[in-house]
């Protein structure tokens, strides 16, 4: 399939075109100003400040002065003006400014500013139209153009677009030696869990920076290659001599948590302390999560209490979740009540889940009922699923069904999955079968739903039904995901599947 506007538009959401209209006319008389005229470099600095503070009126006034000073066709200032209008006022003013620029003055930076601006505003058709116009006018995209488009492909969830852009990148002569392009390709293929693709790109790179290694670690984690991600951290430091940054640390800690490798997690924590990263809230949240998943919630509390400055909502949420997953439900709720920042929707999922697992039904219902009024958060599907799980665990199936019927949105697989899980706990076969039928219709290719119903049958000794269900799975080409085990020896982690054996030199 060839990448073109015709092939892309069926994939992308429809956006309405913009009518070009002059944004600021250079023919209007402007009063003389006695202050010295800034240089183009100084104008650029002032524009950057307006962008950072989202000061549209000041930016427009600055645009007028740029016209007065004769810099209105300056190729360095035009991309910043475009970014200003995209950032502060959406796409229309940016498009008007772009339409006023003569074709001969539209360089790669101007086109890339337009493409990036449209992408930031989720206007994918316009972004790719700008990209095609760029190619038609003989302007070669640079690494920043492709990096922005790769992010768009990920947002659209389109692996086909990633592959097509990758082919175009190769044709235009961008190889593994271009760090920005290679890193964006690793991120994109990593998102789609294409291990062979992003590994090959990484291996072909003649030079790798910290971003390359961090992107590779993230891609391995997403592809459930946690062992490789931990090995990459060691190679990065001891073979390449590169120092991990905060994002690298945050990226590798989930692998430590996955293997419950407390020793490696503690070593990373020591690195964090030595390098002054302990004041970073994102790093703190990752450490809290790692310690909690390793069963060391007291150590997680130490990280939480030692954080300099007020914890943000991510840190609070991580700590509440950490207490909950270690069975400290009452403490988790007390911490939630003591929060010094407004909770977000993820915080409320964590709290509702704590109520569910802790058997705190009435508290959980009260929190759910007050979500909109108290916190200004409209319940989403994940919140509904928590309440269904809460009611199901308590064996209150009639209330759970009634709750589902009264939902403001059509329930999805997570809601019915929560109810089926509760049926398995309480061995409610009759309701479980009805719920499973809903799940099979909603998620026909999800083997996990068949496995849950099979386990429900097995728990009640209905082995004929178990056999029939497994035959149905095979007929539909559905297979249960294989289980994995791991063994940590001599600072190495050995991973093997259920159909493998580990030969270790002990």
Number of other CB atoms surrounding residue 425 within 10 Å: 12
Beta strands in 364-417 (DSSP E): none
Residue 17 has pLDDT above 80, yes or no: no
The mean per-residue pLDDT over the stretch 478-491 comes to 58
Give the confidence band of 480 by pLDDT, cuts at 50, 70, 90.
Answer: low
H-type alpha helices, 157-309: 159-171, 179-191, 195-204, 210-222, 226-238, 246-258, 262-274, 281-293, 297-306
**How many Å apart are CA 401 and CA 416, to the nearest integer?**
10
Using one digit for the tens of pLDDT, what is the confidence trace for 274-293?
999 989 999 999 999 999 99
**Cα of 415 vs its chain's centroid, Å:** 22
pTM: 0.79
Number of other CB atoms surrounding residue 176 within 10 Å: 18
**How many Å apart are CA 188 and CA 182, to the nearest integer?**
10
pLDDT for residue 38 = 86
Give the confidence band of 18 by pLDDT, cuts at 50, 70, 90.
Answer: very low
Number of other CB atoms surrounding residue 337 within 10 Å: 8
Name the 3-class secondary structure at 318: helix
Overall fold of domain 380-497: 1.25.40
**How many Å apart are CA 65 and CA 85, to the nearest integer?**
16
pLDDT for residue 494 = 54
Residue 486 phi/psi, 5-degree rounding, is -145, 155
Report DSSP letters for 189-201, one per residue.
HHHTT-HHHHHHH
Q: How many CA atoms lie within 13 A of 56 on its CB side?
A: 8
pLDDT for residue 12 = 44
Mean pLDDT of the chain: 88
H-type alpha helices, 275-378: 281-293, 297-306, 313-325, 329-337, 345-357, 361-369, 371-375
Q: Enumerate the domain spans of the chain.
A: 1-12+36-140, 380-497
The strand pairing partners of 489, in sequence order, are 492
Residue 308, H or E segment:
none
Residue 493 phi/psi, 5-degree rounding, is -115, 125
Q: How buried is residue 171: exposed, middle or buried, by Cβ count under 10 Å (0-12/13-18/19+)?
A: exposed
**How many Å apart are CA 435 and CA 439, to the nearest integer?**
6
Using one digit for the tens of pLDDT, what is the confidence trace for 328-344?
999 999 999 999 899 99
Q: For residue 375, what are the contacts with CB-CB under 8 A and spacing of at least 6?
A: 342, 343, 348
The mean per-residue pLDDT over the stretch 74-96 comes to 89
Residue 29 has pLDDT above 80, yes or no: no
Q: What percent of the chain has pLDDT over 90?
A: 73
Give the confidence band of 36 by pLDDT, cuts at 50, 70, 90.
Answer: confident
Region of poorest pLDDT, from 3-7, 138-142, 260-264: 3-7
Residue 7 phi/psi, 5-degree rounding, is -80, -25
Residue 218 phi/psi, 5-degree rounding, is -65, -40
- Tokens encoding 457: 């049958």
The strand pairing partners of 495, in sequence order, are 486
* Cα–Cα nearest to 416, from 374, 376, 461, 446: 446
How far is residue 195 from each of residues 191, 210, 221, 250, measured CA to CA in Å? 10, 19, 10, 20
**Pairing of the two strands 484-489 and 492-497:** antiparallel
The mean per-residue pLDDT over the stretch 145-159 comes to 93
Q: What percent of the chain has pLDDT over 70?
A: 87
**How many Å apart are CA 360 and CA 100, to the nearest integer?**
63
* Cα–Cα nearest to 343, from 306, 370, 361: 370
Residue 278 phi/psi, 5-degree rounding, is -70, -15
């Amino acid at each position: 399939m060839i990448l073109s506007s015709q092939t892309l538009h069926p994939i992308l959401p429809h956006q309405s075109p913009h009518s070009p209209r002059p944004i600021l006319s250079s023919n209007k008389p402007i009063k003389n100003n006695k202050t010295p005229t800034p240089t183009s470099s100084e104008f650029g600095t002032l524009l950057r400040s307006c962008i950072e503070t989202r000061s549209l009126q000041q930016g427009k006034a600055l645009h007028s002065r740029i016209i007065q000073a004769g810099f209105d066709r300056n190729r360095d200032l035009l991309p910043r003006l475009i970014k200003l209008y995209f950032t502060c006022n959406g796409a229309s003013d940016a498009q008007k400014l772009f339409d006023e620029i003569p074709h001969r003055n539209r360089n790669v930076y101007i086109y890339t500013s337009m493409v990036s601006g449209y992408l930031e505003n989720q206007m994918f058709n316009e972004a790719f139209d700008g990209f095609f116009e760029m190619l038609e006018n003989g302007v070669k995209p640079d690494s920043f153009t492709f990096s922005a488009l790769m992010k768009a492909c990920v947002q659209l969830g389109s692996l086909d677009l990633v592959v097509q852009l990758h082919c175009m990148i190769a044709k235009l002569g961008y190889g593994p030696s271009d760090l920005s392009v290679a890193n964006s390709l690793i991120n994109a293929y990593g998102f789609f869990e294409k291990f062979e693709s992003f590994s090959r790109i990484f291996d072909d790179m003649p030079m790798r920076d910290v971003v390359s290694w961090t992107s590779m670690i993230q891609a391995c984690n997403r592809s459930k290659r946690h062992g490789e991600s931990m090995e990459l951290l060691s190679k990065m430091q001891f073979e390449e001599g590169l120092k991990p940054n905060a994002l690298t640390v945050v990226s590798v800690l989930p692998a430590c948590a996955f293997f419950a490798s407390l020793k490696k997690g503690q070593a990373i924590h020591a690195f964090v302390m030595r390098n002054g990263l302990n004041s970073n809230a994102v790093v703190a949240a990752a450490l809290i999560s790692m310690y909690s998943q390793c069963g060391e919630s007291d150590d997680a509390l130490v990280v939480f209490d030692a954080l300099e400055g007020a914890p943000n909502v991510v840190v609070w949420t991580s700590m509440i979740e950490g207490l909950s997953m270690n069975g400290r439900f009452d403490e988790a709720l007390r911490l939630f009540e003591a929060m010094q920042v407004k909770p977000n929707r993820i915080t409320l999922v964590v709290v509702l889940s704590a109520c569910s697992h802790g058997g705190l039904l009435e508290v959980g219902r009260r929190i759910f009922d007050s979500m909109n009024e108290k916190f200004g958060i409209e319940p989403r599907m994940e919140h509904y699923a928590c309440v269904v799980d809460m009611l199901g665990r308590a064996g209150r199936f009639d209330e759970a069904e009634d709750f589902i019927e009264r939902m403001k949105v059509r329930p999805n697989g997570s809601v019915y999955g929560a109810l089926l899980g509760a049926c398995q706990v309480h061995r409610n076969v009759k309701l479980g079968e009805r719920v499973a039928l809903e799940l099979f219709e909603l998620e026909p290719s999800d083997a996990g739903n068949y496995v849950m119903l099979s386990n429900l049958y097995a728990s009640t000794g209905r082995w004929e039904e178990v056999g029939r269900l497994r035959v149905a799975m095979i007929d539909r080409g559905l297979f249960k995901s294989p289980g994995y085990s791991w063994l940590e020896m001599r600072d190495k982690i050995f991973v093997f599947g259920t159909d493998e054996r580990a030969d270790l030199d002990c």
